[in-house]
Amino acid sequence: MSRKSFRQAINEALRQEMRRDERVILMGEDIAGGKGGTSGVEEAWGGVLGVTKGLYTEFGPDRVLDTPITEASYIGAAAGAAATGLRPVAELMFVDFVGCCLDQIMNQAAKFRYMFGGKARTPLVIRAMYGAGFSAAAQHSQALYPIFTHIPGLKVVIPSSAYEAKGLLIEAIRDDDPVIFLENKLMYDEEEEVPDEPYTIPFGEANLTREGDDVTIVAFGRMVALANQAADLLQKQGISCTVIDPRTTSPLDTGTILDCVAETGRLVIVDESSPRCNMATDIAALVAEEGFDTLKAPIRRVTPPHTPVPFSTALEKHYMPDADKIAAAVRSVMAYAAKQEA
């Protein structure tokens, strides 16, 4: 056990799985970086933010494949390789680039197993970074996990910390279905204790990071830490919260969400993706349908507005959910209940 960053945890998961199973290969744009350059340094970058640093040097050009900037061909190649005996981990860099290769994910990899009558296995992982807060503007900041969650045949993972990232990525690589693994780009330098040895965290099993009596908060990815901050703040004001990190949006641990809402009677969902048809909306529908009798107040969703992600830091700050917005939402559902009781 030692302190590791989110970046180091992901790197370690890749390295350990590549050592364990030589069918695990990596491909992506500049995951080594430097091929053909005049310096002769073949691993100049190790990924655009250094997540795959050192893997080319250890595993060589057959297993760490730099690609041209052609997402459709290499994401499709990863799907084809997965269906024919390899276990590729393809890096899409920014998840926003899925617009260039969605067909290969949505119509090919995700559907092989069903379309082919259960005879295909596609052990593919697609890693990509997501999220606002970097002033990367509208084409490099989106949180597009609802798009993938919507597609039957895909599994979707959103780790909320370095510990979670390592265990969930190893699980993803060992999984026989196509998995979308989304990393919040603001989290790469966040550190915590992470075991040195490999371990897995199962999909579809939510983690409770706080347990309380008054309000259930469901949050995804980086929003989990913000929900925890809000819960700590609210605790001082006498409001106790349960915070659920579902870890995966597909499969989704609906049982834990419904159980917690049954105990607290109030629900706030924090989702960094655009509000229409996102996870907050999906979970609100779930609880409205299956947990209606347990609710003491309307469900509240904390999301960005229905706009592209803005560039200016001033605008981006307003765009993103934060601990204050989450706390305000929690207080509002508590106030509703108090009003009803009065």
Beta strand 87-94 pairing with 125-130: parallel
Q: Which of 192, 171, 196 is nearest to 181 (CA)?
A: 171
For residue 140, indicate whether it is catalytic: yes
**212 contributes a contact to another protein by CB under 8 A:** no
Q: Specify the stretch interacting with another protein by CB under 8 A; choose among 12-20, 158-166, 171-179, 224-232.
A: 171-179
How many other C-beta atoms lie within 10 A of the C-beta of residue 148?
Answer: 25
Tell whether residue 31 is a contact of another protein (CB under 8 A): no
The candidate with the shortest Cα–Cα distance to 261, out of 233, 226, 221, 289, is: 289
Is there binding between residue 120 and another protein (CB under 8 A)?
yes
One-letter amino acid identity for 337?
A: A
- Within residues 144-163, the interface with another protein by CB under 8 A covers 152-153, 155
Q: In 90-117, which positions are buried (b, 16+ CB within 10 angstroms) versus exposed (e)?
A: bbbbbbbbbeebbebbbebbbbbbeeee
To the nearest whole angstrom, how small is the minimum distance from the Cβ of residue 180 to another protein?
13
Hey, what are 233's tokens? Answer: 């703040």
Least distance CB 204 / another protein (angstroms): 8
**Residue choice 18, 51, 55, 79 for contact with another protein (CB under 8 A):** 79
Q: Which string of x and - marks every residue 81-110 that binds another protein (by CB under 8 A)?
A: xxxxxx-x--------------xx--xx--
- Residue 58 touching another protein (CB under 8 A): no
User: How large is the C-alpha radius of gyration of the chain?
Assistant: 20
**64 binding another protein? (CB under 8 A):** no
Which structure tokens are listed for 115? 């379309």
The footprint of another protein (CB under 8 A) covers 23, 25, 62-63, 65, 67-68, 70, 72-86, 88, 103-104, 107-108, 112-121, 152-153, 155, 175-177, 204, 251
